[in-house]
Structure 1
Amino acid sequence: MPFTRGKKSKEAAGNKASKVNAAASENQEETTQVKRSSSPPHGAPKKRTAFIDITNAHKVTISLPGRKREAAKKVDKKTNSSSVLSKNQTNLQKSSSVSSEGSPAEKERSDVEEKNEEPQSDDSSPAEEPVDVSSSAAREVPAHIQRQPIPAEFDIDSDNSEDCYMCPEYAKDIFDYLKKREERFVLSNYMDKQPYLSPDMRAILIDWLVEVQENFELFHETLYLAVKLTDHYLSEVPIHRDMLQLVGSTALLIACKFEERCPPPVEDFLYICDDAYKRRELISIEANILKTLSFDINIPIPYRFLRRYARCVNVGMDTLTLARFFCEMSLMEIDFVLERGSRLASACLLMALVTKNLGGWCPILQFHSGYQVSDLKPVVRKLHSMLQAPSDDNLKTIRNKYSHKVFFEVASLPLVDVNVLEKALASS
């Protein structure tokens, strides 16, 4: 009996070994592309089974198309067996409804529902209906943020709809915002706070800044912003007359950093001051100006409004240059420090239109500027008085600048008669 059991077990072991060898040979033929040996190479340490197989051999799976399809069929049979009955009942109900009604709309709706239907178990809840996000409540915009439509006769930005740099969709909103922002930068005559300065000293400084702007070929926006920064700083901090040029040149440096693409270096500003100041002094006054203004240096300037309002009536470049001449001359007068930039720009444009005999303040200008003629009369009369006064021989930089052919020699044009100006102001 023991012999018989041993023989039987030996035969069984032989059969088992033959089956394993056959399976191994079959697997070897099927996995010719994946060759990974589980035994370590000669001389390598044994694999430490306390940790996982760091060779990732246990993650290698062999893809067999035939077996994969058979396994997928088995999984489909198991997962779909519970929902076959409910799906067949749903299809029967749909077919009965289609045959009874027979309308194309119902047939199309049933086809869409049949495509979108997913298998569900018997105890699953029905699918929720999609939420209509395009409802009237979702589309409602609060009244305080709704954009006011611009009348067609006052639309000056639609021609630039293809120019992204002109921002035609937001141009009016931008200038309306700048006009509201002017209220934060209203100044008064600050000369009472400056015991060592006078209006004439300030005029000499502005005349010198215009000369620097020409020599450095800076933008006009840089010049106007530098003047604004100087006025706002002087309205807060009393300084000695020896520091006035340093304040002006430093304000111009800050404006260059804000407006210019390639601002001049600090050494250039020290050079134009004849090296009267040191680099540390300029850096120190720059920090002091920024702190005094709370680093809020984006001050609305009249030059931007003037260019905007000139587009409303499509004036020529010569008329716009004449208005710029009036506006730049006003920089030297302390009395115009009180004026808002948008109002000053409107007054300069109105005076240029009257000088060129191009009409008065039309409705489109009133719409975009927000000013009526009654609002501009005091500023226009003040401009006319300034230009009518005899010029100082030491303050001729602006007049010489606008006497050049590049600027259409507008400084040499005769000043409009006061009676003609008053008549235009009364009829507008």
Structure 2
Amino acid sequence: MASRVIAPIELQQPRGENNNNNNKQKNALGVEGRNRRGVLKDIGNLVANQADLGVNANVCKPNTRSQAIAQVLAEKNKKSSTNLDLPQKPKEPEVIIISSDEESEGVKEKQQAVRGRKQRERSTTKNGKAFSSVLSARSTVACSIVPKELVINIDATDKDNELAATEYIDDIYKFYKLTEEDGRVHDYMVSQPDINAKMRSILVDWLIEVHRKFELMPETFYLTLNIVDRFLSTKVVPRNELQLVGISSMLIASKYEEIWAPEVNDFVIISDSAYVREQVLIMEKTILRNLEWYLTVPTPYVFLVRYIKASTPSDKEMENMVYFLAELSMMHYATVSLYSPSMIAASAVYAARSTLEKSPFWTDTLKHYTGFSEEQLRECAKLMVSFHSAAPESRLKAIYKKFCSTDRCAVALRTPAKNLSAHTDTES
């Protein structure tokens, strides 16, 4: 079925009728305008009348404010009607009260007053919160509540030092902590029928003197003792060969750590020719074979360097006191067999700070970098303080004499830590 085009309504009307309609619209608008001047309170009724008369809002230009509002409402009614043939449901007339300019200004002033009051309420709430926080901060200070100590970055000063390897230093020491069990020794004296802990202490005391005679690095001394203990834990050694094990272990450690290592003949001479060169070389091979050439181990010295740095602020006296207590503990078999290298180093720092009366004895920075709390180190530190107390009366005085010298700040002459002494524990 073909669709029929519906022409606009205005084009279907004759010209004469169109003119008559325009005249009628003008007359209707005139009459309506006169009536609207008297009735401005109810615009909805007037708009409904215009819709009934079919008045086009664009025909005449409104002269008053009420006429403009009526025109807008009439256009909305036209747009809402989708089909002219269908009857539209009459809408309820919308009553709009038009107030004068003075009344509208009064409304604006009221609205501004309401907004200002709300803003003042919000600002008062914020100020109240801020004021309460100030009061809390002041009460904290008044109660002398000390904030938690911050961990100091001990590597900040070495940021531009390439040899310090600050980018990897934390990972390196995490690896040392994980692998220190592989290089430490436990109680092995039960498997040695011909030697005991006292003989070991005599050997270590003599090795201290040899180490000083050759002016070797500290790393060499700690690696020498590690090689001796690890070898004694794997092989039974007769008493007459214990000194040979000591000089052969120092020879290996010197080759590993020193730039200019002593020669074999130097160790033969230092041992008063108790052994010949061939014996030293044979023992060197035996030690390396039993240890499977595993020499890269974290000794206590590796941790001592790091933990002394974490004991801020550190000075020469503090450094020498730590080394004194650490070497004393390495001479005693009980310390080496009971505690790990990292704990020996951390306990030496704790005991040194207690001896020198550094306050506090243990800081958050030390706890962060060592991984040990003060309670974990107390037993090992007490053992070190007991060694310090017995050092002046001991017959093995190599370490004591070494740290009584002025170049070592005479730290061995200091009074042992009172808070870690056995006398204090008895009284408590």
Do they fold alike, i.e. is TM over 0.5?
yes
Q: Secondary structure at the match of 1:389?
A: helix
- Measure, in 2, the Cα distance between the counterparts of 1:419 and 1:270: 42
**Contact 1:307-1:320 within 8 A present in 2 as well:** no
- How far apart are 1:391 and its partner, in Å? 4.8
Aligned length in residues: 274
Question: Residue 348 of structure 2 corresponds to which residue in structure 1?
Answer: 348
User: RMSD over aligned Cα, in angstroms?
Assistant: 2.1
1:405 is aligned to 2:406: yes
Question: Residue 121 of structure 1 corresponds to which residue in structure 2?
Answer: none
Taking a change above 3 Å as real, the CA distance of residues 419 and 241 of structure 1, as seen in their structure-2 partners, is closer
- How far apart are 1:389 and its partner, in Å? 3.0
Question: Residue 257 of structure 1 corresponds to which residue in structure 2?
Answer: 255
- How far apart are 1:237 and its partner, in Å? 0.5
Taking a change above 3 Å as real, the CA distance of residues 419 and 223 of structure 1, as seen in their structure-2 partners, is closer
- Measure, in 2, the Cα distance between the counterparts of 1:212 and 1:337: 21
Q: Secondary structure at the match of 1:305?
A: helix
Pick one of 161, 175, 178 that aligns with 2:176.
178
Q: Deviations over 1:258-292 (max 9, x none)?
A: 11011011110111111221222111111111111
Taking a change above 3 Å as real, the CA distance of residues 179 and 401 of structure 1, as seen in their structure-2 partners, is same
Matching residue's letter, 1:184: D
Q: Return 203-212 or 308-317, whichever deviates more.
A: 308-317
Pick one of 156, 159, 181 that aligns with 2:157.
159
1:266 is aligned to 2:264: yes
Structure 1: gaps (5+ residues): 1-150
Query: Which TM-score applies when normalising by structure 1?
Result: 0.61
Question: Residue 372 of structure 2 corresponds to which residue in structure 1?
Answer: 371
Question: Residue 219 of structure 1 corresponds to which residue in structure 2?
Answer: 217
Question: Residue 115 of structure 1 corresponds to which residue in structure 2?
Answer: none
Q: Return 226-235 or 280-289, whichever deviates more.
A: 280-289
- Measure, in 2, the Cα distance between the counterparts of 1:351 and 1:257: 33
Q: Return 308-317 or 256-265, whichever deviates more.
A: 308-317
1:381 is aligned to 2:379: no
- Measure, in 1, the Cα distance between the counterparts of 2:198 and 2:393: 10
- How far apart are 1:393 and its partner, in Å? 4.8
Matching residue's letter, 2:320: T
Question: Residue 203 of structure 1 corresponds to which residue in structure 2?
Answer: 201
Query: Which TM-score applies when normalising by structure 2?
Result: 0.61
- How far apart are 1:387 and its partner, in Å? 2.3
Question: Residue 319 of structure 2 corresponds to which residue in structure 1?
Answer: 320
Matching residue's letter, 1:264: P
Matches within 5 A, 1:57-76: none
- Measure, in 2, the Cα distance between the counterparts of 1:396 and 1:265: 27
Pick one of 186, 190, 213 that aligns with 1:188.
186
Matching residue's letter, 1:326: L
Structure (1 or 2) with the larger CA radius of gyration? 2
Taking a change above 3 Å as real, the CA distance of residues 415 and 253 of structure 1, as seen in their structure-2 partners, is same
Structure 2: gaps (5+ residues): 1-148
- How far apart are 1:186 and its partner, in Å? 3.2
**Contact 2:385-2:421 within 8 A present in 1 as well:** no
- Measure, in 1, the Cα distance between the counterparts of 2:314 and 2:392: 28
Give me the identity figure in percent: 31
- How far apart are 1:204 and its partner, in Å? 0.8
Q: Secondary structure at the match of 1:242?
A: helix
Taking a change above 3 Å as real, the CA distance of residues 154 and 419 of structure 1, as seen in their structure-2 partners, is closer
Taking a change above 3 Å as real, the CA distance of residues 334 and 421 of structure 1, as seen in their structure-2 partners, is closer
Question: Residue 135 of structure 1 corresponds to which residue in structure 2?
Answer: none
Question: Residue 357 of structure 2 corresponds to which residue in structure 1?
Answer: 357
